[in-house]
Amino acid sequence: MSAAFTAGCVQFTAGPDPEPNLREVTQLIRRARDAGADLIMTPEVSNFIESGKRRRDKARREADDPFLAGMRELARETGAWVLVGSLVIDPTGEPGADVQKTAGEERLANRSFLIDAQGGIVARYDKIHMFDIDLPGGESYRESNAYRPGDSTVVAETPWGRLGMSVCYDVRFPHLYRALAQAGADFLAVPSVFTVPTGRAHWHVLLRARAIENGCFVFAPAQWGEHAGGRKSYGHSLIVDPWGE
């Protein structure tokens, strides 16, 4: 690590339409920058939360995504580095894109972007571990029906040190974070949309464990509240130091 810096986490409740989500996140990033943040991070799927065919219809290719374009412009405007926790991205036409249809739709990418103060995309990371789970009480999720998993770990250079990138459910797989730390990561990003039951049970302890076992700071911006369709997210955005505090 080099000079000291200030990190900020954005917490909000994404709706099904990208435009109002972009407006809200833009306001929150400006507030964080005004408060002195140098690196500002948003949660998982910041552009929208939607399901089924509606999600597929709203997904845009990286070059055409208005939320990503807005974040790049905002980084240039504010002079901050921005980690867009992840966006729902249509990977059609990309080298090696998976166009296999699952549950009637082509699979998308759950992609994180690190943007520098000039608006350039420094790094991309596609979420590796899919949230396929049955919860007590009848809730179940099959993220792999909608998204193709990534296949590469990413450690990115920043002015303050090296950032290891991950997304949400990845946090349950400690070998990923060991690989990031061994590759030189000083900080670990875990943008998320944890459910209320899993968050209440495991969110804090998982983030503290990843920090302690790897000797890294952990940045975990999270969505919270009730989304369209009734899903509820846990929130509790955290920054954890290497001592687990």
Output the domain CATH number for residue 211.
3.60.110.10
pLDDT (0 to 100) of residue 100: 52
Residue 120 in this model has a pLDDT that exceeds 80: yes
Given a cut of 80, is residue 232 above it in pLDDT?
yes
202 falls within a domain: yes
Closest by Cα among 206, 213, 216, 214 to 186: 216
218: in domain: yes
Q: Does a structural domain hold residue 1?
A: no
Q: What is the total count of domains within the chain?
A: 1
Q: In sequence order, what are the residues at sequence separation of 6 or more whose Cβ sits closer than 8 angstroms to the Cβ of residue 142?
A: 103, 130, 132
- The strand pairing partners of 110, in sequence order, are 88
In the chain, the percentage of residues whose pLDDT exceeds 90 is 85
The pLDDT of residue 43 is: 99
pTM given for the model: 0.93
Q: Which residues are catalytic?
A: 44, 127, 168
Residues 6+ apart with CB under 8 A from 84: 42, 46, 67, 68, 71, 112, 113, 114, 115
Tokens representing 148? Answer: 């193709």
**Strands 187-189 and 161-165, sheet pairing:** parallel
User: Whole-angstrom Cα distance, residue 165 to residue 220?
Assistant: 11
Q: Is 186 a member of any domain?
A: yes
Q: Is 227 helix (H, G, I), strand (E, B) or coil?
A: coil
Q: What is the predicted pLDDT for the residue at 134? A: 79
Q: Encoding tokens for residue 19?
A: 């435009």
Instruction: Please state the separation of Cα 81 from the chain's center in Å.
Output: 15
127-to-5, 66, 115, 151, 238 alpha-carbon distances in Å: 27, 21, 17, 8, 20
pLDDT tens-place string over residues 166-176: 999 999 999 99
Is residue 2 assigned to a domain?
A: no
Give me the domain span that covers residue 186: 7-240
Q: Has residue 99 got a pLDDT over 60? A: no
CB 71 within 8 A of CB 41: no
Task: Specify the range with the lowest mean pLDDT, choosing from 7-11, 48-52, 193-197.
Answer: 48-52
> Does the residue 245 lie in any domain?
no
**Does residue 225 surpass a pLDDT of 80?**
yes
In a domain, 84, yes or no: yes
Please report whether residue 230 resides in a domain. yes
